[in-house]
Amino acid sequence: MPVDAVPEKLLNWYDAHHRRLPWRAGPGEPRAAPYRVWLSEVMLQQTTVAAVKSYYAHFTTRWPTVADLAAADEAEVMAAWAGLGYYARARNLIACARAVVNDHGGAFPDSEAGLRTLPGIGDYSAAAIAAIAFGRRAVVVDANVERVTSRLFAFDGPLPVGRPAIRELADRITPDERAGDFAQAMMDLGSSICTVRNPQCLICPLHGDCAARAAGNPEAYPVKAPKKAKPQRRGTAFWIERDGHVWLVRRPAKGMLGGMRALPTGPWTDADPGLAEAPAKADWVEAGSVDHVFTHFALRLRVVTTRKPAPLNEGEWWPIARIEEAGLPTLFARAAARAIAAAQD
């Protein structure tokens, strides 16, 4: 099926129907600032537009330039990221801002290769920023592009092995001009029309060009390798209270929820660890448990509380009335809510 007309059709559709998003250039503005494009792309990695919006607004208000972010207090940035997930992104965000200021004179590299060297910027983000912020011709491949492209060509090589081949197909339809708009058009199309389930082929601008549509099985693409089962793990969180304050720790920089404030916990294992590795000697009171699902395992976190702890180290007393300002990841925000609710029973 010939695809020569695909770029023009898609760009025409984009001109008429594209989403208005805070990080996109407004009318009369040719391109958004590289800092804003970069910030939005990092936030959008594996994350929905709806979830990103309020975080993007806060970050751009609190840190309007890359220099502001480079000079920011790390703990404040991590707390501002709390709830968005994939916290390595926040650590890399700070490292990247500092690299731009220290190694690139405060300006983002304007090429895909230059961007690719920065922390937290991989193949996708480098291509997206080069195309959207700098007008470069780059082949931008995210999950939307993989879905649209695999359907367009009825490409049935299973992911992730088939990924390089899909990139070749995407390269074939990427125009020399307006590659940034083309990429965003593919993503808008993927999010609104060429969806994972129930694609709206009847209103798709590429209806007549799509091999999967012609075959009547668009939902069959992309083909994916089977996924593994999620193990169930168990752990215990310790809510230690004194004079209206709770004891919080900071998790190690690497690993789950790395660098984030948290309630103390013991190890997360396949059996209930109980009170093993409690941070203090105390008479623990049950406060219930929280079930939380991560990318590669599910966790049942038992919450226990005390108001009379033995001495503690390496942590801080945080006012319970302002617990939402601690920047707890969602797991611990839920555990905290459980402890507070239990105290009122």
Partner DNA sequence: AAGGCGTGGGT
Partner DNA sequence: TACCCAAGCCT
Distances (CA, A) of 243 to 309, 311, 319, 324, 332: 12, 14, 9, 18, 20
CA dihedral angle for residue 88, residue 91, residue 92, residue 97, rounded to 10 degrees? 160
Query: Is the CB of 48 or the CB of 344 nearer to DNA?
Result: 48
Cis amide leading into 2 (omega within 30): no
Residue 203 binds to DNA (criterion: CB under 7 A) = no
Residues 65-84 that bind DNA (CB under 7 A): 82-84
DSSP structure class, residue 292: E
Q: Choose which of 61, 198, 313, 344 interacts with DNA (CB under 7 A).
A: 198
* Count, residues near DNA per rule CB under 7 A: 57
Kindly state the helix (H) or strand (E) to which residue 286 belongs, with its residue range: strand 285-293
Q: Between 34-43 and 49-62, two packed helices, what is the crossing angle to 10 degrees?
A: 140
CB of 187 to DNA, least distance (A): 4
Which window, 21-29, 63-71, 171-179, 279-287, contacts DNA (CB under 7 A)? 21-29
- SS3 (DSSP) at 29: coil
Instruction: Give yes or no: 41 in active site.
Output: yes
CA dihedral angle for residue 130, residue 131, residue 137, residue 138, rounded to 10 degrees? 70
Q: Choose which of 1, 253, 293, 310 interacts with DNA (CB under 7 A).
A: 293
Residue span 154-193 as binding mask against DNA, x where in contact by CB under 7 A, dash where not: ------------------------------x--xx-xx--
- Cβ neighbours, 10 Å, residue 127: 29
Residue 292 binds to DNA (criterion: CB under 7 A) = yes
Query: Is the CB of 203 or the CB of 310 nearer to DNA?
Result: 203
Which window, 118-126, 164-172, 173-181, 304-312, contacts DNA (CB under 7 A)? 118-126
Active site residue: 41, 112, 146, 241, which one?
41
Q: Choose which of 3, 65, 68, 123 interacts with DNA (CB under 7 A).
A: 123
- Cβ neighbours, 10 Å, residue 161: 10
Q: Choose which of 3, 9, 17, 21 interacts with DNA (CB under 7 A).
A: 21
Q: Choose which of 27, 113, 176, 197 interacts with DNA (CB under 7 A).
A: 197
Euclidean distance between CA atoms 169 and 304, whole angstroms: 54
Quickly list DSSP for 44-84. TTT--HHHHHHHHHHHHHH--SHHHHHTS-HHHHHHHHTTS
Q: Choose which of 16, 50, 202, 271 interacts with DNA (CB under 7 A).
A: 50
Catalog residues that contact DNA under the rule CB under 7 A.
Answer: 21, 23-24, 40-41, 44-51, 82-88, 92, 119-126, 128, 142-144, 147, 184, 187-188, 190-191, 196-198, 224, 227-228, 255-258, 292-296, 329-331
